């Protein structure tokens, strides 16, 4: 998740990508469209390996991943909040249709308890746009017109973690009994529809937030009023073990994105990342990794975990408050992860860490890579979840500037009273924290 546009000079990918967008609706025409438009035809943009040589899916994708190419997306309105998406290919085969999709869960949302605080409302909306929301549709959730010639078994729809309107479509096909990325395209979500759904969802004027969402403007650092977010029933300072002297399993997303770690190279332990020298490949508009524009971090702030406080909350959820000292032992930073439900967290081994419960930093966010069924059942508008970094005075800190994406949690499969807390690095390239915590029963 990066909030700076990639440098143009030397970035062939960006130049070539810009050339593919000529079929888009002219942005100046959006204001002329009626507020209740019922159909949109949107160009799909594709990047070849030459245009996007740093694509982490290259190493794991389907052997026929470039075919078929899709020429456009059709969005049709069913109701005020439900829509059908039809991805139309150039060769008239494998037309993919998602029907009756409730798009409200893709729209940045102010959850109920946050609405009473103007500052929290602002950073909640911005953080939801800043964090990827990718939802998977499995067989039965989508239809393919005519024969499924490519053996497509899964389709993902993502609002990516950049400026407003930047969305993605990914199809997965089975090969050698494994689902592999088969097709990936980028598209601009219609601006007028986005604004309409935002106002319908939140009861707020979109124009109040549009400049920040469209131009990636960082909010001011102000005090977070935690009293409006949750009520504490009890709290306990708990025992924990710092496992940052160990490495982490290089599988799944960590494996395919390993090449996007710019510095340090050849790490042997998590501690190697906990300096301000750590850099990752930037995630740049419209949604690709760019190691030529390194993303700097401030991970020294998380160098020394000082204590962990466990809190039971009145809404039958719990909270973790992890306090760190920086490398000079002069600055205190707090990571607070709240609204957690014990039953949602899986019991797994460390080797299966990628199957853990994971979420992004922010307020009311959806979990990473959830199914459509899970997405609808866990509406962001009623969510108690939040994860935030603050300083010792409880002033909000931009987690992206520091270099983290959010928490990953799982119970230890040998001792279910022990909770593993992992900290996901920027863009989930690595883990930059691992602690085991003894949870009170």
pLDDT band at 21 (very low <50, low <70, confident <90, very high): very low
pLDDT band at 148 (very low <50, low <70, confident <90, very high): confident
Strands (E), 78-190: 82-89, 95-102, 133-138, 143-145, 152-159, 166-175, 178-188
Buried b (16+ CB within 10 A) or exposed e, 195-229: bbbbeebbeeebeebeebbeebeeeeeeebebeeb
What percent of the chain clears pLDDT 70, i.e. is strictly above it? 92
Q: Is 90 exceeded by the pLDDT of residue 66?
A: no
The secondary structure of 301-348 as a DSSP string is GGSEEEEEEEEEETTS-EEEEEEEE-TTS--EEEEEEEEE-GGGS-EE
Q: List Cα–Cα distances, 16 to 10, 13, 45, 182, 347, in angstroms.
A: 12, 5, 11, 21, 46
Q: Is 50 exceeded by the pLDDT of residue 27?
A: no
- As a whole number, mean pLDDT of residues 396-416 equals 97
Q: List Cα–Cα distances, 362 to 19, 27, 123, 337, 388, in angstroms.
A: 35, 30, 8, 9, 6
3-state class percentages of the chain: helix first, strand second, coil last, to nearest 5: 25, 40, 40
**φ, ψ of residue 38 in degrees (nearest 5):** -110, -10
pLDDT for 307-344, tens place per residue?
999 999 999 999 999 999 998 889 999 999 999 999 99
CB 404 within 8 A of CB 423: yes
pLDDT for residue 5: 40
Calculate the average pLDDT of the chain: 90
Q: List Cα–Cα distances, 331 to 56, 389, 395, in angstroms.
A: 36, 13, 13
193 sits in the region (left: phi over 0; alpha: psi -120 to 50; else beta) called alpha
CA dist., res. 93 & res. 147, Å (int): 7
Q: List Cα–Cα distances, 22 to 10, 19, 26, 71, 210, in angstroms.
A: 22, 6, 9, 13, 24
Which of 421, 417, 409, 414 has the alpha carbon at shortest distance from 441?
A: 417
Q: Is 80 exceeded by the pLDDT of residue 20?
A: no
Q: Is 60 exceeded by the pLDDT of residue 162?
A: yes
Which of 254, 43, 63, 44 has the alpha carbon at shortest distance from 170?
A: 44
Q: List Cα–Cα distances, 266 to 142, 247, 263, 270, 272, in angstroms.
A: 42, 11, 9, 11, 9
Q: Is 90 exceeded by the pLDDT of residue 195?
A: yes
Residue count of the chain, please give it.
Answer: 441
- Strand 347-348 and strand 404-412: the pairing is parallel
pLDDT for residue 109: 96
CA dist., res. 402 & res. 1, Å (int): 12
pLDDT for residue 36: 66
Q: Which residue has the higher pLDDT, 384 or 286?
A: 384
Q: List Cα–Cα distances, 235 to 123, 298, 439, in angstroms.
A: 26, 29, 11
pLDDT band at 34 (very low <50, low <70, confident <90, very high): very low
Q: Is 90 exceeded by the pLDDT of residue 367?
A: yes
Count Cβ atoms below 10 Å from residue 408 Cβ, excluding itself. 23
Which DSSP helix (H) or strand (E) runs through 424? Answer: strand 418-425
CB 386 within 8 A of CB 338: yes
Domain boundaries, the chain: 12-215, 226-438
18 sits in the region (left: phi over 0; alpha: psi -120 to 50; else beta) called alpha
pLDDT for 74-94, tens place per residue?
999 999 999 999 999 988 788
pLDDT band at 273 (very low <50, low <70, confident <90, very high): very high
382 sits in the region (left: phi over 0; alpha: psi -120 to 50; else beta) called alpha
- As a whole number, mean pLDDT of residues 178-188 equals 95
- As a whole number, mean pLDDT of residues 193-201 equals 96
């Amino acid at each position: 998740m990066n909030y700076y546009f990639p440098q143009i000079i030397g970035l062939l990918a960006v130049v070539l990508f810009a050339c593919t967008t000529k079929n888009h609706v002219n942005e100046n025409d959006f204001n002329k469209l009626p507020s209740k438009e019922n159909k949109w035809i949107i160009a799909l943009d594709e990047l070849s390996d030459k245009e996007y040589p740093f694509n982490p899916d290259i190493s794991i994708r389907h052997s026929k991943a470039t075919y078929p190419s899709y020429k456009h997306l059709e969005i049709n309105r069913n109701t005020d909040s439900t829509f059908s998406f039809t991805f139309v290919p150039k060769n008239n085969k494998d037309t993919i249709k998602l029907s009756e999709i409730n798009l409200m869960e893709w729209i940045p949302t102010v959850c109920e308890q946050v609405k009473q605080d103007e500052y929290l409302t602002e950073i909640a909306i911005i953080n939801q746009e800043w964090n990827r929301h990718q939802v998977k549709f499995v067989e039965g959730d989508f239809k393919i017109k005519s024969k499924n010639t490519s053996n497509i078994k899964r389709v993902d729809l993502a609002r990516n973690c950049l400026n407003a309107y930047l969305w993605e479509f990914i199809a997965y096909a089975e090969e050698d009994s494994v689902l592999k990325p088969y097709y990936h395209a980028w598209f601009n979500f219609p601006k007028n529809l986005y604004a309409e759904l935002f106002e319908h969802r939140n009861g707020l004027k979109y124009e109040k937030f549009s400049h920040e969402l469209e131009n990636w403007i960082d909010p001011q650092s102000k005090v977070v009023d935690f009293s409006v977010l949750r009520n504490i029933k009890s709290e306990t300072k708990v025992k924990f073990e710092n496992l940052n002297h160990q490495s982490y399993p290089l599988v799944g997303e960590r494996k395919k994105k390993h090449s996007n770690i710019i510095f340090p190279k050849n790490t042997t332990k998590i501690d190697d990342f906990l300096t301000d020298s750590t850099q990752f490949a930037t995630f740049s508009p419209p949604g690709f990794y760019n190691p030529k524009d390194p993303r700097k971090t401030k991970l020294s702030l998380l160098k020394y975990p000082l204590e962990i406080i466990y809190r039971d909350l009145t809404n039958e959820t719990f909270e973790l408050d992890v306090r760190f000292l920086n490398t000079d032992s002069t600055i205190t930073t707090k990571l607070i992860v709240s609204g957690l439900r014990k039953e949602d967290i899986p019991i797994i081994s460390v080797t299966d860490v990628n199957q853990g419960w994971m979420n992004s930093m922010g307020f009311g966010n959806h979990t990473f890579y959830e199914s459509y069924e899970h997405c609808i059942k866990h509406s962001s508008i009623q969510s108690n979840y939040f994860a935030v970094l603050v300083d010792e005075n409880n002033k909000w800190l931009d987690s992206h500037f520091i270099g983290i994406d959010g928490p990953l949690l799982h119970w230890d499969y040998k001792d279910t009273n022990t909770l593993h807390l992992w900290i996901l690095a920027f863009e989930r390239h690595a883990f930059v924290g691992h602690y085991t915590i003894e949870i009170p029963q």
